[in-house]
Amino acid sequence: MSAQHVEVPIPAPKEKQVLIKVEATSLNPIDWKTQKGILWPILPGKFPHIPSTDVAGKIVEVGAEVKTLKEGDNVVAKLTNTDGGGLAEFAVAEERLTVVRTPEVSAAEGASLPVAALSAHQALTQLAAINFHGSTGGGGQPKNILVTAASGGVGHYAVQLAKLGNAHVTATCGARNIDLVRSLGADEVLDYRTPEGAALKSPSGRKYDVVLNCAIGISWSTFDANLTKEGMVIDFTPTPFSMMVSAMRKLVSKKQLIPLILKPKRQHLDYLVNLVKNGKLKTVIDSKYSLSKAEFAWEKSIDGHATGKIIVEP
């Protein structure tokens, strides 16, 4: 069934939840993949399912056991995948995945962060062992990182975070976004529709220690030819087949394919909101839609050609 507008009661927050008057929601591919059942066993928890998990707004009610947030706080929250709830005027969020947003961070910027920036942050810090304290992330030399689909929601944050982690960044995107991706800090940018771009060859001849693969449809042999001996590909779109390849690679090679499954953490969301506040992380907004036209935002996300984030505002 396709998306429809329905009237539902304003949800009531449970003990450890807050009720947010939504000011902005951002869409992610996981929203429509959940609706289409592509991510089975991740399915909507109940129907009608209100999609979208990334919201910013103002708290209008707090549950009885909420200790760190209060009515009137401007916040950013990551809602759960099964509950969703973001494409609405009001949404309930868990206290443990809600952080305060100061006036320097707009609602649209805040709502853009949860899935896209948290997953880029998780990949870089937990899998690629990049840290953001000015060091090289181990080994003395800056790591060589490739970010594919660097013009997308995840990729545009990944480029900036990798640079904050002192990496050398090669990025792929379409020709129309090369200047943008360079302006986000990428050292080298490849047009993915050219033979060199499709081959992922670094113009300076570098091999990659880490690939953040935010694109789909790139073969292992293409990555293999460009990885260092112990290089890794972090797969943002794992499938049952790629999970099997990942397990097999562990047995035969030091070059690894690692599936990424986002495990959102409040302190990381807080960290990212602060980066935005301090002007160290920019959000590129592809387009904004009103809630009454959310179906157009939905189609835009499914189309797969957004530059940055798609925002819906009530």
Please report, as ranges, the residues that interact with ligand NAP according to CB under 6 A.
28-30, 115-116, 119, 148-149, 151-155, 172-174, 192, 214-216, 236-237, 260-262, 304-307
- Give the residue among 209, 260, 202 at the shortest CA–CA distance from 231: 209
Residue 205 half-sphere exposure toward CB, CA atoms < 13 A = 0
Q: Tell me the closest approach of the beta carbon of residue 220 to ligand NAP, in angstroms.
A: 15
Report the distance separating Cα 122 and Cα 49, nearest Å: 27
Q: What is the smallest separation between the CB atom of 58 and ligand NAP, expressed in angstroms?
A: 26
90 or 157: CB nearest ligand NAP: 157
State the Cα angle at 75 between 283 and 60, rounded to 5°: 145
186: number of Cβ within 10 Å: 28
Q: Which is nearer to ligand NAP, 100 or 302 (CB)?
A: 302
End-to-end CA distance of the chain: 23
Phi–psi pair at 78, nearest 5 degrees: -105, 115
Which residue lies nearer to ligand NAP by CB, 28 or 160?
A: 28
Buried b (16+ CB within 10 A) or exposed e, 167-182: bbbbbbbbeebbebbb
Min. distance of Cβ 103 from ligand NAP in angstroms?
Answer: 27
Is the Cβ of residue 29 or residue 231 nearer to ligand NAP in the bound state?
29
Burial class of residue 9, CB neighbours in 10 A (0-12, 13-18, 19+): exposed
CB-based contacts of 251, cutoff 8 Å, min separation 6: none
Output the smallest distance, CB 294 to ligand NAP, in A: 16
Q: Indicate the residue among 22 and 214 with the shorter CB distance to ligand NAP.
A: 214
Least distance to ligand NAP, CB of residue 110, Å: 16
Least separation in angstroms between CB 153 and ligand NAP: 3
Closest CB to ligand NAP among 122 and 144? 122
